[in-house]
Structure 1
Amino acid sequence: MTTATTAGAREHARAQEATAAGTVRAMPTLPASAWPTPPDGVDPQAMLRAEVVAGGGYTHLRVPRGAHVRFRDLDGEACAHLLVFRGDAPWERLNVADTVKVQWQVYPRPGYLLLSDQGRALATVVDDTSGHHDTLFGTTTRARNDARYGDGSLHGPAPAGRELFTVAAAKHGLTRRDLPPSVSFFRGVVVGEDGCPRSTGAAGAGAAVTVVAEMPLLLLVANTAHPLDPRPEFTCGDLEVLAWRGSPTGPQDERWAATPEGRRAYTNTADLVAGLSDGGTR
């Protein structure tokens, strides 16, 4: 197939659709309301986003307060690296150090809060069938993937998480200096009594984790191998990302007052939302 002519270039470009945009991003191919595998009990009309991100790809999405976002490891090989920003003021962003320190816990589980650098709850983990996550080691770098796999560039065979995040961030006017450490889902790490980290692998195909947005959010997602993946070859599978309208955590929910630290974070968020002109609905 030649791309020397307009007709040839068009034929080549259309053929690429079947590869889900190659190594960059798998674009949504259906209206979210028509997604064939919606979450149980969710009205299709409440769906906001539905897509599959190929291994080595990325996505970015804005969601309103109360939205639920589910990440699902379709084949047991995905690794979702996640960055979270306040949607209307992205200078407020995920602070992994505070997330771990304030909650006295490095291992995400249902009820776990993702905290901002302002002491507010950005999002809460509300469901988890994986249990294999990491808040300590962030994502991969170009230099590390170059050394380990041969090519960690954005369009290479083993794209690094920082490269993917950089492109996703640029869609929203953010640069490399705006990218803090991330959390990752589906490739677990534990730290032994000797202080050494150990990869725990993944839960397998179909494992999912759902978070609820406690304020309007911008989410950046890089689906790429974990930096401590022990396998010598770059390995990363498909990641489903679904979002739908819902309700944020409120005083009526058990998790609001489950811990004094969590209660303070939720209260800080509620105070902010009360002062937003749109009530945090965008």
Structure 2
Amino acid sequence: MATATTYGARDHARAQAGTKAGTMPVVPATDWPDPPCEAGHLVWAETVAGGGYTHRAVARGTEIRLTDPHGDACAHLVLHADGRPWERLNTADTVKVQWNAYLGAGHLLLSGQGRVLASLVTETTDGRHDALCGTSTLARNTARYGDGAPHSPTPAGRELLKLAALKNGLEPRDLPPSVSFFQGVAVREDGTLDFTGSAGRGGSVTLRAEQDLTVLIANVPHPLDPRPEYHSTPLEVLAWIAAPTAPGDPLWDATPEGRRAFLNTAEFLATRGTR
């Protein structure tokens, strides 16, 4: 079909209606086959290409399931309180406050304000996650693969997160270090890090939004992945309507530190008229 004229370009574009690719959002999300929630509750369904990114604003209580279907995804995640970019994921406090550098079910993703942004409800990957290294950079990918630009064959995670941020009114200065799911590290006695790799195909984690959030995700290789080639397979993202953690939930009282973070969150939200 000729696209040299405006009419030709329009007709070509319209002819793509209904075309489906292996990595793309499903709109409406409720068309996703075999949803993991009640019918009609799915609000986000997407397959993110290896070397790709995604972003979405989600409501408090939304549950987000990330899945690694092929065993070589690595989801680098950044969270912001929606509309308040100064309240964002703080990986240092997430590790320090909970006395644990290894993320797993029951752990909380904390902001620098001492409040809970999201809780890690379930995971099936034997803790193959990372709250220490952040994501890859333009300089590192250029030195390692020859390029790290966002539209190159080997994009860096920070470059993709910049694009996701800009599409939500955020700037590069608003990007804190990310956490990574599906590729892990272990800390040696001398403080150096060992890359522990992936738990394999089909692993998943489910996060619960404890505030209205802006979610940014880059699916790129972990910066400590020792393989010389750029390996990154698709990531599945599903989110559905649920309820935030409340008093009486075992997660609320799992640790004294976590309970205080939940109380801080509840008090802040109450002053804004949110219960």
Bin for the TM-score computed over the shorter chain: over 0.9
Deviation for aligned residue 1:5? 4.3
Which residue of 64, 73, 81 corresponds with 1:78? 73
In structure 2, what is the Cα distance between the partners aligned to 1:229 and 1:136?
14
The 2-side partners of 1:265 and 1:165 are apart by 27
Aligned with residue 270 of structure 1, among 266, 270, 273: 266
Say whether the 8 Å CA contact 1:78–1:236 is kept in structure 2.
Answer: yes
C-alpha distance after superposition, 1:88-140 (max 9, x if no partner):
31210000001000001011011100000100011000000012000000000
Distance (whole Å) between structure 2 residues aligned to residue 186 and residue 43 of structure 1: 26
Does the CA contact (< 8 Å) of 1:32 and 1:44 recur in 2?
no
Q: Find the counterpart in structure 2 of residue 57 from structure 1.
A: 52
Give 1:23's aligned residue.
none
* Residue identity in the other structure for 2:31: A
Write out aligned runs for 1:1-282 (5 A): 4-6=4-6, 7=8, 11=12, 26-39=23-36, 42-130=37-125, 131-277=127-273, 279=274
Q: Distance in 1 between matches of 2:157 and 2:259?
A: 33
Query: CA distance change for structure 1 residues 10 and 222 in 2, over 3 Å: closer, same or farther?
Result: farther
Q: What's the offset of the Cα at 1:276?
A: 1.8
Ranges of 4+ aligned residues in structure 1 off by more than 2 Å: 1-20
Give the whole-Å Cα distance in 2 for the aligned partners of 1:120 and 1:129. 26
Give, as a single letter, the amino acid of the residue that structure 1 aligns with 2:91: V
Distance 1:143 1:249, change over 3 A: same
CA distance 1:107–1:14, change in 2 (3 Å): farther
| TM-score, normalising length: structure 1 | 0.91
Q: Aligned-pair distance for 1:258?
A: 1.2
In structure 2, what is the Cα distance between the partners aligned to 1:15 and 1:197?
A: 47
Equivalent residue of 1:210, what SS? Answer: strand
Distance 2:52 2:12 in 1: 23
Sequence identity (%): 55
- Could you tell me which runs of 5 or more consecutive residues in structure 2 were left unpaired when the two chains were aligned: none
Kept in 1: contact 2:26–2:32 (CA 8 A): no
> How far apart are residue 4 of structure 1 and its match?
4.0
Instruction: Flag the structure with higher helix content.
Output: 1
Q: Give the C-alpha shift of residue 18 in structure 1.
A: 5.4
The SS at the match of 1:167 is helix
1:44 deviates by 2.4
> Shift of residue 249 of structure 1?
1.0
Letter in 2 for 1:275: T
- Shift in Å, 1:151: 1.0
After superposing the two structures, state which structure 1 stretch, 4-13 or 149-158, moved more: 4-13
Shift of residue 11, structure 1, vs aligned partner:
4.0
Q: Structure 1: any 5+ residue segments left out of the alignment?
A: 21-25
Matches of 1:83 and 1:109, distance apart in 2: 17
Aligned partners of 2:152, 2:5: CA distance in 1, in Å?
26
CA separation in 1, counterparts of 2:178 and 2:14?
33
Task: Give 2:80's aligned amino acid.
Answer: F
Pair 258,176 (structure 1): closer, same or farther in 2 beyond 3 Å: same
Displacement of 1:157 after TM fit? 0.5
